[in-house]
Structure 1
């Protein structure tokens, strides 16, 4: 929600990013440094609120004061000491400062950031909404920094809002995102529950919503700290309490929680791998093949593993809405096995085919799959009909000239009919049902279903602007290159396996 105060605050903070960029500080590095400093400033404010002071935050308050009192090299040394000290803690504070490093090497510019931009603003006395919204906009700007690769952790907020409106999380739900990025899904779910149920929630439900009811997992330290800070600014969790964002590889072992709602956009890229740094300093990558007893098949495909992980972790009853790339819909082998199991053991009821040009990461053709988990029923499949909404054909978006808005997705939400029996849905030009038997009869249970024709391919009068055509060509080529690369790697692995045998 953008307000004049939010825009003023973002503009003030963002202008300084341009100053630091000349020193080699990237957009995402700048937002990360703001995360550290904002937290210290908020801790100082909350520890000095008279009779309402939070004494548990006194170490944070003292740290902020030490930065205000220092100059030059002493400031840089003090800042580095604070980052190291707090990074060793085991609470939310420790998640925010985990492996933290000072990226601002000019003490004078660091001093200006601390004194003029951060200390000059009261961050706690007017509630968290405006400050949280300002931080959210800063994260969005960080995602626009293509070179940093931050966009892969950022799902368009308009899409998130539509998904949450369909799933309708409530105050008794445990909401989880196993690949939470900067926390967009978790915040949207929290705000939805607050907006729809806030007036009638019990004290127990309020405590749940501010704590254990909203949970996330994130592999990348830097992104996890952004999510933890984002949640704190929106009033979720406590700085000196257990972190609601767990840092680590969510796929490595079965989940330790069983949420009733999962909202997720698992990371792009087909293969699961880790970065290895050898003794000689060389960087390489090592493929991961997760062998989990709760998975249907073993595969290196990251998205297929996330599908299995979400299916395993989802509580009963449970509902999920997951952004998945096209390859999950049509890939054979492990992909076919997973689709067959999912359709039989879960109620896979809705799929939204997304247009290109809406993600910061390029070459992405994606869909949102909605499915519910119910008690085991071996005698009959849970999926009866999969309703597919084609929002891709004839839709052309870009990140600047023609951005996706929440209004663009309203027809899908209306067609979904949140909270109503699915029998009340109406078939339309873009929204069609496919029976379980029809799906199982398709080659390899291919769910890459299309029936509409793009009018721009048939009507010369509806030709797209050159920049949109160019963008879509790039998207198609990038997606195709990803597929070809995966095939080449698979063939190479097969050859290596045969040679070993």
Structure 2
């Protein structure tokens, strides 16, 4: 059996072959997902597993192996259509599936390549790492836009380490992307000594997610299956729906999320024009929720309100948000005040630039615990960790690693969170100090930004170029925020 890195390279190199036929990275990931799923389902249906899999014999993995040339292409087309029926994980993965590999010979070669590996027999972590590695490569393709659904795995791992997750508790993500938070949570919980009941709960009942983009939901479901979360014929743990539309039907112990960074929510509608022509237009979407503190079309602020509505009374949350959430006036100020009043916002991490595939993104992680209703503010103090000032990463040559987050985890002190000490990068601010700030801004920094370089020790030219791009794009994002705020005010 090939090791994970070699198999990743083998599968990914075949994508370069398909690109000559117009198959994009995202299209390739789709086709891999369909074929991997069928291969694993076939293996699970045979000894020693002998699971009953609801895939008709005429559309199973062996039916693909038995054909080649044009008969294979025609059969694959029908197979994708037929398996996309139903509400199970099987139906959701194949929903509206299409064959993007138009050359039957190359499709046959890919099928043979996948068939050569014992996917079910692989260790869960190995096959999971293979798929995660492919998702990472897909995210690196900036043109595809796949990176917006990919949160850096070292950051996710650090967040999960700080949360101190417990077995037999539920974990939700209202914008789950490809499932990064779920996989890190599963890995963390699997390292504990679990009973059989706890293992079964982890596999079938722990996770619940929402993802609005169909292909991303498909990738997430496959990612979970490869990591032994969920059953092929069971209801999917990931819903393909806009999670902001309705109140949560259930409450959760933990919510971990990195919602999309766009500010305004939009919906595509089709309008009639002259001569019966139709045109797609985007309209701003405002969520009318009576459980929200304020009504706004700001997507980020809506996610904060939604996540608070998802938590049990003693639930805990960690959410990645862009800078504007910490300082924006108007409804932003109102939401921050309510958040400080109704929850214990105890930790904020200022993240460095250069760790997301979208250039110019400046973000933070907010950790907070839900609390029972109180006449006094639940937040007493917030500890800030500055991982941004004078710290630089790039996605190409200097990616952030888990080791870069160890000092933050040490300062957070997960085992005894209420016993902390200040350091150069870790400072405490009281509720009284925060509420007295203009617009209750939570955007706080204290370290001197030494942006000048020693001329004898300049970074590589590509690093400098990327920093310039990120600074320009960050400035543009700031200007857009100001324009949008003014437009909303005028309206």
Q: TM-score range by the shorter chain?
A: over 0.9
Partner of 1:95: 92
Select the residue among 406, 421, 441 that pairs with 2:436.
441
Partner of 2:426: 431
Establish whether residue 382 from structure 1 lines up as the match of residue 363 from structure 2.
no
Q: Deviations over 1:55-86 (max 9, x none)?
A: 23453784222211222222122112111112
Change (3 A) 1:493 1:442: closer
Q: Point out where structure 1 has 5 or more consecutive residues left out of the alignment.
A: none
Partner of 2:220: 227
Aligned residues between the structures: 487
Matched-pair contact (CA < 8 Å) for 2:212–2:241 = yes
Matched-pair contact (CA < 8 Å) for 2:55–2:83 = no
| SS of aligned partner of 2:379 | coil
Partner of 1:168: 164
| SS of aligned partner of 2:18 | helix
CA displacement at 1:333 relative to structure 2: 0.6
| SS of aligned partner of 1:276 | strand
Whole-angstrom distance in 2 between the partners of 1:126 and 1:463: 45
Whole-angstrom distance in 2 between the partners of 1:490 and 1:168: 38
Partner of 2:106: 109
Matched-pair contact (CA < 8 Å) for 1:297–1:334 = yes
Matched-pair contact (CA < 8 Å) for 2:57–2:63 = no
Whole-angstrom distance in 2 between the partners of 1:60 and 1:436: 64
Select the residue among 307, 313, 322 that pairs with 1:316.
313
Matched-pair contact (CA < 8 Å) for 2:5–2:130 = yes
Q: What does 1:286-435 correspond to in 2, within 5 Å?
A: 286-378=283-375, 380-422=376-418, 424-435=419-430
Whole-angstrom distance in 1 between the partners of 2:337 and 2:234: 42
Partner of 1:477: 472
Partner of 2:83: 86
Partner of 1:30: 28
TM-score by length of 1: 0.93
Change (3 A) 1:421 1:160: closer
Matched-pair contact (CA < 8 Å) for 2:59–2:79 = no
Establish whether residue 251 from structure 1 lines up as the match of residue 244 from structure 2.
yes
CA displacement at 1:441 relative to structure 2: 0.2
Matched-pair contact (CA < 8 Å) for 1:162–1:406 = yes
| SS of aligned partner of 1:317 | strand
| SS of aligned partner of 1:260 | strand
Q: Point out where structure 2 has 5 or more consecutive residues left out of the alignment.
A: none
Task: Name the Cα RMSD after superposition.
Answer: 1.8
CA displacement at 1:46 relative to structure 2: 1.1
Select the residue among 131, 137, 144 that pairs with 1:141.
137
Whole-angstrom distance in 2 between the partners of 1:452 and 1:487: 26
| SS of aligned partner of 2:65 | helix
Matched-pair contact (CA < 8 Å) for 1:266–1:324 = yes
| SS of aligned partner of 2:391 | coil
Which deviates the most, 214-223 or 79-88? Answer: 79-88
TM-score by length of 2: 0.95
Whole-angstrom distance in 1 between the partners of 2:57 and 2:12: 25
Whole-angstrom distance in 2 between the partners of 1:221 and 1:482: 27
Partner of 2:11: 13
Establish whether residue 205 from structure 1 lines up as the match of residue 198 from structure 2.
yes
Whole-angstrom distance in 2 between the partners of 1:86 and 1:148: 27
